[in-house]
Amino acid sequence: MTSPSSASKPVPVPIRVLLPGDQDIVGRLWFKRQVRDGWLYEVGLPAYRNGPGDTVEPAEYRVWVRAPQHVQPLDGVSYDDVPVEYLEPPSLVERELGPRRPSGWVLAKAGGRGPGRGTVHAVDCTETPAGAPVLTLDRALDAAQHPGTRLCSLCGAAAELEPMLRGFSTGFDVWPDREPGVDDRSKLREAPGRHGYSRSRTVYQELRRSIQPLRACCNGNNLQV
């Protein structure tokens, strides 16, 4: 979102720009942009360029710099009319739940013998090894089934994945309005050796299907779920 300006074309104002090597120069401020961790200023620095033949012409080199780390205001100069671009306000979901964390999981393999030894982390965990492949939820659950694999409690992987592995809470019914049929029971008993959490996965799939109408509604109102 850019602030309104009375002029059709922005007029730059002078500002002191701090250069490497403890130098500074008076440049021109063209634009201010708010970012998540502060401000960026677009400044123009005086320079020369080669013109036709052997001529030399005055020029301006524009660059984005950090404010206030790389700039200082000049006494007597007003910066109120400099065009400004502010961050978009957070959505309702972000205000209620906070910023969305990156999706995905990572299996940090440990040394020693035996398959599946390691720790499952959230993709943004500080203990996640660099360059490790990102796993989907299903693959992370598969990895967590190995006896030698544990879930990281530092990043919340344990809190998020353990309910799916244990079947959420006692007495939770996937089909609350009817008794499970033969096909349903066969799904719950599917490959108990490798997929002991098949009931939990069925619950997860049911929840995904039930949230689709809410997701469509939120997307229609520029919200995210």
Average pLDDT over residues 79-93: 87
39-73 confidence digits (pLDDT tens) = 999 999 999 999 999 999 999 999 999 999 999 99
**Tokens found for residue 132:** 């490790």
Which H/E stretch holds residue 206? helix 198-220
Q: Which sign does the torsion angle of CA 11, 13, 18, 19 carry?
A: positive
Q: Decide: 211 and 225 in contact? Cβ < 8 Å.
A: yes
Decide if pLDDT at 90 tops 90.
no
Structure-model confidence comparison of residues 93 and 121, the more confident one: 121
pLDDT of 25 reads 96
CATH assignment, 13-88: 2.30.30
| 166-177: pLDDT as tens digits | 765 444 444 444
**pLDDT at residue number 8:** 61
pLDDT of residue 62: 96
At 167, which helix (H) or strand (E)? Answer: none
Q: Give the Cα separation of 221 and 151 in Å (integer).
A: 36
Q: What is the pTM for the complete model shown?
A: 0.45
Please give the Cα distance from 59 to 164 (Å, whole number).
63
So where are the chain's domains?
Answer: 13-88, 96-220
